[in-house]
């Protein structure tokens, strides 16, 4: 290839590489609490739910309602902690969902010990979801 051809291809290559770094329409939404609810999602959009937790205390987040007709789970809960050197450190429990159909529903999670079914949860995440 001649030097002229390469100079002409360089701007095109730069444009194509730049397009790889852009955020696509309908990109994901990350939620840390239910203060910003109700949430409006576009069909196909992903929702990541990040909630503070500490499984070493026996407390776990349990999905009570996930409106499976409008939200599809993209996998199980994932727990991560930034403090790898501390046994029993708190961290973040995460779930990923994808909006799969227009409609409305609720995403409800309770934070409690599994063996304390009759007690009030220590925390509750309750969010109305609207998918357009």
Per-residue pLDDT for the chain (132 aa), expressed as one digit of tens each? Answer: 555 443 443 433 333 333 333 233 347 899 999 998 999 999 999 999 999 999 999 999 999 999 999 999 999 999 998 887 777 889 999 999 999 999 999 999 999 999 998 899 999 999 999 999
At the topology level, CATH places domain 25-131 in Immunoglobulin-like (2.60.40)
Instruction: Reply yes or no: is the peptide bond before residue 24 cis, omega within 30 of 0.
Output: no
Domain boundaries, the chain: 25-131
**CA 9, CA 74: separation in Å to the nearest integer?**
39
**Of the candidates 129, 47, 55, 59, which has an alpha carbon nearest to the alpha carbon of residue 95?**
47
Kindly report the pTM of this predicted structure: 0.75
**CA 132, CA 118: separation in Å to the nearest integer?**
37
Pairing verdict, β 103-112 and 60-65: antiparallel
**CA 120, CA 112: separation in Å to the nearest integer?**
8
Instruction: Reply yes or no: is the peptide bond before residue 38 cis, omega within 30 of 0.
Output: yes
- Estimate to the nearest angstrom the gap between the alpha carbon of 57 and the chain centroid: 24
Q: What pairs with residue 105 in β-bridges? A: 129
């Amino acid at each position: 290839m001649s030097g002229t051809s390469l100079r002409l291809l360089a701007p095109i290559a730069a444009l194509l590489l730049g397009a790889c770094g852009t955020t696509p329409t309908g990109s994901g939404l990350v939620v840390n609490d239910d203060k910003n609810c109700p949430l409006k999602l576009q069909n196909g959009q992903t929702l990541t739910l990040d909630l503070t937790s500490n499984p070493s205390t026996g407390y776990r987040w349990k999905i009570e309602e996930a409106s499976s007709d409008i939200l599809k789970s993209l996998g199980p809960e994932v727990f991560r902690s930034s403090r790898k050197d501390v046994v029993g450190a708190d961290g973040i429990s995460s779930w990923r969902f994808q909006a799969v159909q227009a409609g409305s529903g609720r995403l409800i999670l309770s934070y409690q010990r599994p063996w304390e079914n009759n007690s009030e949860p220590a925390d509750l995440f309750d969010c109305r979801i609207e998918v357009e």
